[in-house]
Amino acid sequence: NAPDKNAMLPEVLMDVCRYFDLGCGFILTADYQGLFSLQAAYKADPYYDYIDRPVSLEEKLGYVLYRELLEQKYIAFDKNDRKTLLESALSREFHADAMILVPINAGEVTLPAFAGMIDRRGKSRNQDQTMEFAYFITSVIADYVSTSLFRQKSVGTMTTLKRVLDHTGVDVYVIDFHSEE
């Protein structure tokens, strides 16, 4: 048996959060009803257990702010930043004074997912380089999860197609358009 590659995500999130002195790192994915669930996390203390609950971000943020969130390259703020309406809403929803949130795009997968890190202490991270580096690292994690989600979707699609073809009761022929082979 090959080890589950996604099993390493909590450890990676822990290392990244410790490096940036943030209390929680997470991967959230949405189901077809728009309910976001925790797929992987590192939590420095039990304070962050609230993130275990599934949440409808569209319901919590409202339609306009939710659409704005889906269009962002990333969200990053700490307690010293002046927050936009979206950032303020995310700060309240995630009980966080500092946050970095990166959308995960898995090819044409329409369900949204996010990789993020939060902290309730809101320590000032004044150096732009630090926030840019945190975004870069979180983006690498998001790309990894994106690839994994795309792979899962491909396997699921192939399995479904195989089941349909196996149970249709008709023969299926594939013919090359040009050579007619």
pLDDT of 136 higher than 70: yes
Residue with the larger pLDDT of the pair 179 and 156 = 179
Give a three-class secondary structure readout of the chain: CCCCHHHHHHHHHHHHHHHHCCCEEEEEEECCCCEEEEEEEEECCHHHHHHHCCEEHHHHHCHHHHHHHHHCCCEEECCCCCCCHHHHHHHHHCCCCEEEEEEECCCCCCCCEEEEEEECCCCCCCCHHHHHHHHHHHHHHHHHHHHHHHHHHHHHHHHHHHHHHHCCCCCCCCCCCCCCC
Cβ atoms of 109 and 30 closer than 8 Å: no
Largest CA distance in the chain: 67
**pLDDT computed for residue 178 by the predictor:** 83
> With a threshold of 0.75, does the pTM exceed it?
no
pLDDT tier for residue 152 given thresholds of 50, 70 and 90:
low
- Average pLDDT of the residues of the chain: 80
Residue with the larger pLDDT of the pair 99 and 138 = 99
